[in-house]
């Protein structure tokens, strides 16, 4: 990529940004030095609370009213931004930069058409005539809209999330900016959409000498896109390096910790345990003396806790660690201690604890009065269509699919919250009613669920202890004292201290809440536990700890898991069996290592090749899914995937339901394409990843 | 609507005092009272009375006033016209002022001008209408002599002839609405100003004034439009105190007059017209809201 010789476009010099709470100003970002050259794609990585979005908004001069740069200078083309007059800021800065935010919908004016909003970039005063329109349409076409005219006439809420994000990209690039800031632009999108958006950004930026600041929590996305990476932790810049150097050998223990927390495709818990970073990010009001990372650092020494380390030049960048030379020389080991990895789970056929046969969930749509009179037949949303699955004792079944695939509906139907329309559910060999209220107490105890958001699952007014005592008292009929005893042991099992029993959900961090939710589910001593996206909202270092916890609890107790996630890497880490669903139907299922190997269902192949890898410059497969997931009201006839399938054969896919093609060991796919042909496909990046067996990102490939 | 008509009917039936006895006076003989009750149809069962009344109302036969002997319909309609004039003028004065105050207060949040507007509007809203009304009369009629203090216009006066008489009552009603609408506008402006789309517009390099006028205002005024439309219903029949202070012949004063005399046909007609006004105002509010909000489609 270009980038040499143009000189600094943006310079941060000792920038401290603070937010006012009451009368006090609390810094969220402290003393950041950073230089972004023209044409360079810069990644800004950090977990929640690192201050990465704050830094981006400070650069763009659009901090919320209670935020301010209280120290240091931000320069754009050598001019200090805080000294610009309002008019100069508008015409000489804001018209030259652009932002693509995380949430597209609130960033668009709900009362104006998309076309008019894009025109305004080209023509901010609204005086020019027809030229702006043409430019808007051209931009919409450039971001891959099939029908730019229609999109231009639409209001933002009429578009899907992926299309809204494309509109914002079109808007951002319509003014041909020098600097494009992307703030987690794909975090709320499906992987298959994310990968097309990343392709688009890469392609649109390549020829224009546009500098990019890409803010993200995901190292994988940054590796795919960026020339350089800056890592933020607790408001401080801890490491800055070229992507290649950073991924080859991180110099800061925090960066190393991030790498070790991310589950990689093909590494399962049976092979290695993840290495989470212990503890949590300090609150901006309670920063430690000395290095901010010292309390969580595996190699912290006394000197680290005495004084804040300076940002020292290192290699092609800089690092804020007094021991970076030792780390680089291999004399200090920045890896967190690995928890003992248990190798267990024989391939023996253990008995099923949950058996679901041809589960179906249809939601009937209400007809309008006119439709009722005209005799239009009532239509149904076919959210789940004949899904069968089996969870075995001590084993995990992963259920993967994009949003709209019916994963969560399946989970809720199995536990009986939204009863299924048809199908049989067996819990430990006993068929149970589809409706939760009609199930015997023992079946309810045996089948428990952990939700995605523990905020919704935990009553904010009850203490953790009270929430955990309830299942013991109700389902196990224990006395108060006995129950209290069990609560203490349970908290210990999820690695929380006994004093957590007295706290309320608001006093807990996201990871702690999820631990409590897991403890609550285990209180009933279930045989089967359903996890519905239970780790999706967590930062990677916390997610790693929860995944390890969930894994070791299964080893100890032999509970069967149904683990639902959109993240194939997480699922492949935890699961022994994987079922891939699309539009409420099974596409592929089998043992995890077999599903990740050819023969692939074309949908699985697309999911796999969309996952960002931790290898800059890795050779990537280019399977991309076009368009949107069809509405489950009008499910396509034949194979439900045929409208987006890159390998569609022709008429047969559109008219006939695909046959089950068994590939041995319970593995099989629903596809018209013969197995031999599907076996010939390899997802190249996955192949290299698997050979490495889950070691650090070496970055020497490509 | 049907339900409220039933409610109005039942409430007026439950009013204390027998109509016939009130009409004929304390000394009337029982025979005369019974005769009058039969003549008025008051001796029939309640459901029959209700249905007859409702059918007559729909047909436009609103009966005769017990106390004045005039046809109710003509009386109510002429007062309705007066009330509509007053309500219209009030809105013309109140809405631009209140919206401007709210917008300015929001744009200069927490500055002296915001504090001043809040103080002014809140102190005025705390005062009852008969006080503000009297103060206005004191200043504009007695001290300055610009406007008449008594607004008892004759029936059939044209709008422009009536205008001088309308100004003071309208101002008084405005003061009641002003604080409410201004506070609401300020609050929704502040919400909209902090939405990310404002940031998007700023980053396009759009002038701040243009951001406010063409992006923020339209979204911020949605709740205000609803409230204004609904308050129109209140202005038509709820200005009882204001109309009494100024002796203005609107629906509100007609209602107090009718209630004081147990004039049931008149009470029922005024109440039903008032409810109709409220319902229409609500409908208009919903339609306006939908028209200005592309997220809602009318079906």
Q: Do B293 and A64 touch (CB under 8 A)?
A: no
Please give the Cα distance from B93 to B243 (Å, whole number). 17
How many alpha carbons lie under 13 Å from residue A340 in its C-beta half-sphere?
A: 5
Please give the Cα distance from A629 to A607 (Å, whole number). 13
Q: For chain B, which domains are there?
A: 2-44 (no CATH), 75-292 (1.10.3720.10)
Give the end-to-end CA distance of chain A in Å, rounded to a whole number: 15
Please give the Cα distance from B186 to B180 (Å, whole number). 10
A153 inside 8 A of chain B by CB = no
Q: Do B197 and A107 touch (CB under 8 A)?
A: yes
**Which residues does chain B have within 8 Å of residue A126's beta carbon, measured at their own beta carbons?**
210, 214
Cβ atoms of residues A445 and A523 within 8 Å:
no
- Maximum Cα–Cα distance across chain A: 81
A60 inside 8 A of chain B by CB = yes
**Which residues does chain A have within 8 Å of residue B215's beta carbon, measured at their own beta carbons?**
109, 112
Residue A48 pLDDT level (bands cut at 50, 70, 90): confident
**Beta carbon pairs, A and B, within 8 Å:** 76
Residue A702 pLDDT level (bands cut at 50, 70, 90): very low
More confident position, B156 or A508 = A508
Q: Do B205 and A91 touch (CB under 8 A)?
A: yes
Please give the Cα distance from A452 to A106 (Å, whole number). 23
Q: Mean pLDDT throughout A366-382?
A: 77
Closest-CA distance of chain B to residue A47, Å: 22
**Percentage of chain A surpassing pLDDT 90?**
35
Q: Do B200 and A124 touch (CB under 8 A)?
A: no
Place of tokens 């009933």: A524
- Maximum Cα–Cα distance across chain B: 87
Please give the Cα distance from B286 to B171 (Å, whole number). 27
Residue A486 pLDDT level (bands cut at 50, 70, 90): confident
Q: Do A90 and B207 touch (CB under 8 A)?
A: yes
The pLDDT of residue A685 = 47
Please enumerate in sequence order all residues whose Cβ is within 8 A of that of A257, keeping only pairs 6 or more positions apart, or say none.
A275, A277, A296, A334, A336, A541
Which of A60, A106, A157 is facing B195, going by the closest CB pair?
Answer: A106
Q: Which residue in A120, A159, A169, A213 has the most chain B C-beta atoms within 10 A of its own C-beta, making it the best mutation to test that interface?
A: A120
Q: CA-nearest residue of chain B to A89?
A: B205
Q: Do A90 and B199 touch (CB under 8 A)?
A: no
**Which residues does chain A have within 8 Å of residue B218's beta carbon, measured at their own beta carbons?**
111
A126 inside 8 A of chain B by CB = yes
Summary mean pLDDT of chain A:
85
Closest CA to B66 of B263, B254, B209: B263
The pLDDT of residue A220 = 85
B107 inside 8 A of chain A by CB = no
Q: Mean pLDDT throughout A669-686?
A: 78
Please give the Cα distance from A360 to A420 (Å, whole number). 6
**Which residues does chain B have within 8 Å of residue A97's beta carbon, measured at their own beta carbons?**
203
How many alpha carbons lie under 13 Å from residue A363 in its C-beta half-sphere?
A: 15
pLDDT of A346 strictly over 60: no
B156 inside 8 A of chain A by CB = no
Instruction: Give residue B147's Cα distance to chain centre.
Output: 23
Q: How many CB atoms lie within 10 A of CB A85?
A: 9
Instruction: Give residue A88's Cα distance to chain centre.
Output: 39
Place of tokens 């020389």: A329
Closest-CA distance of chain A to residue B100, Å: 21
Residue A349 pLDDT level (bands cut at 50, 70, 90): low
Q: Do A111 and B219 touch (CB under 8 A)?
A: yes
Strand A396-400 to A97-100 pairing: unpaired
Cβ atoms of residues A247 and A264 within 8 Å:
no
Residue A189 pLDDT level (bands cut at 50, 70, 90): confident
The pLDDT of residue A5 = 45
**Which residues does chain B have within 8 Å of residue A118's beta carbon, measured at their own beta carbons?**
none
Q: Mean pLDDT throughout A657-678?
A: 88
Distances in Å between the Cα of A197 and the Cα atoms of A5, A147, A186, B82 are 29, 18, 7, 63
Structural tokens at position A182: 């992307």
**Which residues does chain A have within 8 Å of residue B196's beta carbon, measured at their own beta carbons?**
101, 103, 106-107
Cβ atoms of residues B246 and B168 within 8 Å:
yes
What are the DSSP calls for A422-457, one per residue? EEEEEETTEEE-SSGGGS-HHHHHHEEEE-S-HHHH
Please give the Cα distance from B219 to A370 (Å, whole number). 32
Distances in Å between the Cα of B217 and the Cα atoms of B67, B80, B226 are 51, 34, 15
The pLDDT of residue A357 = 93
Distances in Å between the Cα of A11 and the Cα atoms of A33, A55, B138 are 7, 12, 66
B291 inside 8 A of chain A by CB = no
| Element housing B72 (H / E) | helix B72-107
Structural tokens at position B237: 């029949």
**Which residues does chain A have within 8 Å of residue B206's beta carbon, measured at their own beta carbons?**
90, 120, 124-125
**Which residues does chain B have within 8 Å of residue A101's beta carbon, measured at their own beta carbons?**
196, 199-200
Which of A106, A112, A121 is facing B204, going by the closest CB pair?
Answer: A121
Residue A282 pLDDT level (bands cut at 50, 70, 90): confident
The pLDDT of residue A564 = 93
In 3-state terms, what secondary structure has residue B205?
coil
- A364-371: long-range contacts at Cβ-Cβ below 8 A with a sequence spacing of 24 or more? A365/A633, A368/B299
Please give the Cα distance from A530 to A564 (Å, whole number). 8
Architecture of domain A352-569: 3-Layer(aba) Sandwich (3.40)
**ipTM score assigned to the predicted complex:** 0.77
Closest-CA distance of chain A to residue B186, Å: 16
A81 inside 8 A of chain B by CB = no
pLDDT of A690 strictly over 70: no
Give the end-to-end CA distance of chain B in Å, rounded to a whole number: 22
Instruction: Tell me which range, A143-147, A268-272, A367-371, B1-5, is most confidently predicted by mean pLDDT.
Output: A143-147
**Which residues does chain B have within 8 Å of residue A65's beta carbon, measured at their own beta carbons?**
194
Give helix A540-557 / helix A510-523 axis angle, nearest 10°: 20
Distances in Å between the Cα of A398 and the Cα atoms of A517, A564, A576, A587, B248 are 19, 6, 8, 13, 77
Please enumerate in sequence order all residues whose Cβ is within 8 A of that of A394, keeping only pairs 6 or more positions apart, or say none.
A344, A345, A350, A554, A555, A558, A559, A560
Out of A118-127, A324-333, B41-50, B98-107, least confident range: B41-50
Residues of chain B with pLDDT under 70: 1-2, 12-28, 39-43, 154-157, 296-299
Out of A204-213, A397-406, A547-556, B19-28, least confident range: B19-28
Three-state SS for A325-363 is HHHHHCCCCCCCCCCCCCCCCCCCCCCEEEEEEEEEEEE
**Which residues does chain B have within 8 Å of residue A106's beta carbon, measured at their own beta carbons?**
195-197
**Cβ burial, residue B126 (10 Å; 0-12/13-18/19+):** exposed
Q: What is the pTM of this model?
A: 0.81
A234 inside 8 A of chain B by CB = no
A91 inside 8 A of chain B by CB = yes
What CATH number should be reported for the domain whose range is A8-113+173-248? 3.40.50.300
Q: Do B194 and A64 touch (CB under 8 A)?
A: yes
pLDDT of A343 strictly over 60: no
Q: Mean pLDDT throughout A390-403?
A: 91
Closest-CA distance of chain B to residue A215, Å: 17
pLDDT of A72 strictly over 90: yes
Q: Do A98 and B203 touch (CB under 8 A)?
A: yes
More confident position, B268 or A475 = B268
Across A583-675, the runs of DSSP E, i.e. the strands, are: 585-591, 660-662, 668-670
Angle at B19 between CA B16 and CA B25, to 5 degrees: 105
Q: Do B219 and A110 touch (CB under 8 A)?
A: yes
More confident position, B39 or A650 = A650
The pLDDT of residue A692 = 38
How many alpha carbons lie under 13 Å from residue A3 in its C-beta half-sphere?
A: 16
Out of A295-304, A612-621, A647-656, B187-196, least confident range: A612-621
B30 inside 8 A of chain A by CB = no
């Amino acid at each position: 990529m270009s980038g040499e010789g143009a000189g600094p476009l943006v310079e941060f010099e000792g920038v401290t940004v603070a937010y006012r709470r009451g009368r006090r100003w609390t810094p969220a970002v402290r003393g950041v030095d950073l230089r972004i050259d023209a044409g360079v794609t810069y990644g800004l990585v950090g977990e929640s609370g690192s201050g990465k979005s704050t830094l981006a908004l400070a650069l763009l001069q659009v901090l919320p009213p209670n935020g301010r740069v209280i120290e240091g200078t931000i320069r754009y083309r050598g001019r200090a931004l805080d000294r610009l007059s309002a008019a100069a800021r508008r015409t000489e800065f804001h018209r030259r930069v652009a932002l693509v935010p995380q949430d597209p919908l609130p960033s668009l004016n709900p009362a104006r058409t998309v076309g008019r909003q894009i025109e305004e970039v080209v023509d901010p005063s609204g005086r020019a005539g027809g030229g702006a329109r043409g430019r808007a349409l051209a931009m919409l076409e450039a971001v891959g809209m099939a029908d730019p005219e229609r999109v231009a006439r639409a209001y933002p809420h009429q578009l899907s999330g992926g299309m809204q994000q494309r509109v914002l990209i079109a808007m951002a690039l319509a003014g041909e900016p020098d600097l494009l800031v992307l703030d987690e632009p794909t975090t709320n999108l499906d992987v298959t959409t994310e990968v097309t958006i990343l392709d688009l950004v890469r392609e649109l930026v390549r020829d224009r000498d546009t500098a990019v600041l890409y803010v993200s929590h995901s190292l994988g996305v940054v590796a795919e896109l960026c020339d350089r990476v800056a890592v933020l932790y607790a408001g401080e810049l801890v490491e800055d390096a070229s992507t290649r150097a950073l991924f080859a050998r991180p110099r800061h223990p925090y960066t190393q910790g991030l790498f070790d927390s991310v589950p990689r495709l093909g590494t399962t818990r049976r092979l290695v345990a993840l290495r989470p970073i212990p503890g949590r990010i300090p609150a901006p009001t309670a920063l430690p003396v000395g290095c901010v990372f010292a309390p969580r650092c595996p190699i912290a020494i006394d000197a680290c806790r005495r004084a804040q380390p300076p940002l020292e030049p290192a290699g092609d960048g800089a690092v804020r660690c007094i021991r970076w030379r030792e780390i680089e020389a291999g004399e200090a080991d920045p890896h967190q201690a690995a928890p003992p990895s248990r190798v267990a789970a024989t391939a023996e056929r253990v008995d099923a604890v949950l058996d679901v046969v041809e589960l179906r969930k249809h939601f009937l749509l209400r007809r309008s009065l006119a439709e009722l009179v005209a005799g239009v037949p009532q239509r149904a949303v076919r959210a789940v269509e004949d899904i069968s699955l089996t969870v075995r004792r001590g084993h995990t079944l992963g259920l993967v699919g994009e949003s709209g695939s019916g994963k969560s509906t399946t989970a809720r139907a199995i536990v009986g919250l939204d009863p299924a329309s048809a199908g049989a559910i067996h819990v430990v060999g006993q068929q149970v009613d589809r409706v939760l209220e009609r199930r015997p107490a023992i079946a309810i105890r045996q089948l428990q669920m952990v939700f995605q958001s523990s905020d919704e699952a935990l009553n904010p007014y009850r203490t953790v202890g009270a929430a955990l005592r309830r299942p013991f008292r109700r389902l196990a009929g224990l006395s108060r004292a006995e129950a209290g005893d069990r609560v203490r042991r349970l908290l210990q099992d999820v690695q929380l201290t006994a004093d957590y029993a007295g706290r309320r959900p608001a006093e807990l961090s996201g990871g702690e809440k999820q631990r409590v939710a897991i403890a609550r589910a285990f209180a009933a001593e279930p045989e089967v536990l359903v996890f519905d996206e239970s780790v999706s909202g967590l930062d990677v270092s916390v997610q790693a700890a929860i995944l390890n916890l969930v894994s070791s609890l299964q080893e100890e107790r032999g509970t069967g898991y149904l683990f639902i996630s959109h993240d194939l890497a997480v699922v492949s880490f935890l699961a022994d069996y994987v079922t891939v669903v699309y539009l409420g139907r099974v596409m592929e299922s089998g043992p995890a290592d077999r599903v990740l190997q050819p023969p692939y269902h074309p949908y699985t192949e697309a999911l796999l090749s969309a996952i960002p890898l931790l290898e800059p410059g890795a050779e990537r497969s280019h399977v991309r899914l076009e368009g949107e997931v069809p509405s489950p009201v009008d499910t396509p006839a034949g194979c439900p995937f045929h409208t987006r399938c890159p390998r569609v054969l022709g008429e047969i896919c559109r008219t006939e339901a695909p046959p089950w093609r068994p590939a041995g060991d319970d593995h099989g796919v629903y596809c018209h394409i013969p197995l031999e042909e599907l076996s010939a496909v390899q997802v190249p990046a996955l192949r290299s990843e698997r050979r490495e067996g889950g070691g650090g990102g070496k970055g020497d490939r490509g | 609507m049907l339900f409220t008509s039933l409610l109005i009917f039942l409430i007026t039936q439950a009013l204390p005092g027998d109509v016939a006895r009130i009409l004929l006076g304390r000394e009337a003989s029982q025979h005369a009272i019974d005769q009058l009750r039969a003549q008025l149809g008051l001796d029939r069962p309640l459901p029959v009375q209700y249905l007859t009344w409702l059918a007559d109302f729909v047909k436009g036969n609103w009966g005769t006033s017990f106390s004045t002997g005039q046809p109710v319909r003509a009386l109510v309609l002429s007062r309705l016209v007066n009330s509509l004039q007053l309500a219209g003028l009030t809105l013309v004065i109140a809405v631009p002022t209140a919206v401007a105050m709210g917008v300015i207060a929001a744009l200069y949040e927490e500055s002296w001008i915001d504090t001043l507007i809040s103080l002014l509007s809140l102190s005025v809203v705390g005062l009852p209408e008969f006080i503000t009304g009297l103060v206005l009369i004191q200043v504009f009629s007695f001290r300055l002599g610009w406007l008449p203090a008594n607004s008892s216009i004759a029936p059939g006066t044209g709008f422009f002839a009536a205008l001088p008489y309308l100004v003071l009552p309208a101002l008084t009603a405005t003061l009641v609405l002003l604080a409410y609408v201004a506070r609401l506008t300020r609050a929704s402006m502040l919400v909209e100003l902090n939405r990310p789309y404002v940031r998007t517009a700023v980053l396009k390099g759009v002038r701040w004034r243009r951001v406010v006028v063409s992006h923020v205002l339209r979204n911020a005024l949605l709740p205000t439009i609803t409230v204004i439309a609904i308050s129109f219903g209140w202005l038509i029949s709820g200005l009882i105190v204001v109309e009494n202070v100024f002796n203005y012949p609107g629906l509100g004063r007609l209602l107090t007059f009718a209630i004081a005399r147990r004039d049931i046909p008149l009470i029922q007609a005024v109440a039903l017209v008032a409810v109709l006004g409220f319902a229409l105002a609500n409908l208009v509010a919903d339609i306006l809201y939908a028209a200005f909000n592309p997220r809602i489609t009318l079906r």
